[in-house]
Structure 1
Amino acid sequence: MSTSYPSSLSDAEWACLQRHLPPFPKRGRPPMHSLRAIFDAIFYVLRTGCPWRYLPTNFPPWQTVFYHFRRLRLKGIWFRLLTALREAERERVGRNAQPSAAIIDAQSVKTVEESAGICGFDGHKCVKGRKRHILVDALGLLLAVYVTPADLHDGKGARCLLVGLAPLLPRLKKIWADAAYRGQELAVWCQAEGGWDLEVVERQPGTRGFSVLPRRWVVERSLSWISRNRRMSKDYERKVQTSETLIQVAMIRLLLARLRRSS
């Protein structure tokens, strides 16, 4: 018996996703489970936060779902999907497919027993766990993600995040950041690595409490979009590569919903 969940793909979303999927080989035995059911199960895990082994029985077996999730990661298909959908969304709103400006930030999240092998203590946020370093465009759409132990300084994490991105983002010229990325050394490195102008957006002197800061609020909103998925409330994954992939999957699901509403 088939059951639909709020996280499941609609027909329009599935059609949009299919357009950007690479052709799968037709050799061998026909698959027992449809690819759409596999994606629905992955999005269910992401949205509800349930362990893979706790997938409802109306989905394919969890071993099959995780196998496809991992295979798509190893083949780089999740990253290609994210890139294609992000470019489609930017073009839909009248922007160039390639961004010229971006915002960088980091978020520290707690780990659990299974994921505690790779973790650290963030003394500023008083969080023992991992740190998610993300780069987003002016619309808040994910460009890059890198997960490290929480005790890694934001400046060092920025280098891990940005290294090698210049060929993938040829139009990128400007990067906004908060005060944690202050320092001439990082700004010089950004210029040498990709010709990027790193600008730190400071709080106005005398400002107390919460205040919305230009440019910086965009990446904060992106982190809140990601955190709406219960699987992202903590870092439950044994491998940081799985954590990074799930962040990409969260943004892919958001983009599919946006593109579906515009079609």
Structure 2
Amino acid sequence: MWTTGNRARYDQRQLRYPSDLTDEEWSLIAPLIPAARRGGNKRTVDIREVMNGLIYGPGTGCPWRAISKDFPPRSTVNYYFCRWQHDGTLDRLHHALYILCREQAGREASPTAAIIDSQSVKNAANRGGASIRPVLMPAGGSRARSGISSSIRRAC
């Protein structure tokens, strides 16, 4: 419900883009981002800006090559996307935020029931197991039929 308190909480006028993370959102995500690797040069990129770029791209539907100049270079954003996808960081972020949303809604962290209809089972069988990453698989058939954007397919 849009109360005065909720309107102030979700006000995005002070942000550069509506997809940018607020300080409160960043405080939830920051501890889940892996630290820089040991050795070599120090990390010079602002990880918060990388995350803003990761959210901006899919949120607007723009391909990597069209990412705004306000973010780190597209190669840097793409590098972190591929790295975090490969090492499971994006999955951990999604899971942590999923649990938080369920708890805020007054539900248990893990669902206690699931509904499966016959159509879902048929579609799951056609796509393969959940452990297969469709982004890393070559598309079978046309790009339009595969449901995977060509900009994402070439990302990693």
Would you say 1:48 and 2:60 are equivalent positions?
Answer: yes
- For this pair of structures, how many residues does the alignment match? 125
Q: C-alpha distance in 2, partners of 1:238/1:54? A: 10
Return closer, same or farther for 1:29/1:103 CA change in 2, 3 Å cut-off: farther
Q: C-alpha distance in 2, partners of 1:76/1:66? A: 15
Aligned-partner SS, 1:29: coil
Residue 53 of structure 2 contacts residue 67 of structure 2 at CA under 8 Å; is this kept in 1?
A: yes
The structure with the largest alpha-carbon Rg is 1
Instruction: Calculate the TM-score normalised by the size of structure 2.
Output: 0.66
Query: Which has the larger helix fraction?
Result: 2
Unpaired stretches in structure 1, ≥5 consecutive residues: 108-132, 135-152, 164-233, 243-263
Return closer, same or farther for 1:65/1:154 CA change in 2, 3 Å cut-off: same
Amino acid across the alignment from 2:43 = P
Instruction: Calculate the TM-score normalised by the size of structure 1.
Output: 0.41
What is the Cα deviation at residue 25 of structure 1? Answer: 3.2
Aligned to 2:29: 17
Residue 53 of structure 2 contacts residue 71 of structure 2 at CA under 8 Å; is this kept in 1?
A: yes
Aligned to 1:156: 125
1:98-120 Cα deviation digits (max 9, x unpaired) = 11122457x9xxxxxxxxxxxxx
1:141-188 Cα deviation digits (max 9, x unpaired) = xxxxxxxxxxxx426248723x8xxxxxxxxxxxxxxxxxxxxxxxxx
Return closer, same or farther for 1:156/1:67 CA change in 2, 3 Å cut-off: same
Unpaired stretches in structure 2, ≥5 consecutive residues: 1-14, 132-146
Q: C-alpha distance in 2, partners of 1:104/1:159? A: 16
Amino acid across the alignment from 2:46 = S
What is the Cα deviation at residue 14 of structure 1? Answer: 0.8
Percent identical pairs in the alignment equals 34
Q: C-alpha distance in 1, partners of 2:62/2:56? A: 8
Q: CA RMSD in A?
A: 3.1
What is the Cα deviation at residue 237 of structure 1? Answer: 3.4
Q: C-alpha distance in 2, partners of 1:44/1:74? A: 20
Aligned-partner SS, 2:150: coil
Query: Which has the larger strand fraction?
Result: 1
* Larger RCO (alpha carbons 8 Å, 6+ apart): 1
Aligned to 1:78: 90
What is the Cα deviation at residue 4 of structure 1? Answer: 1.3
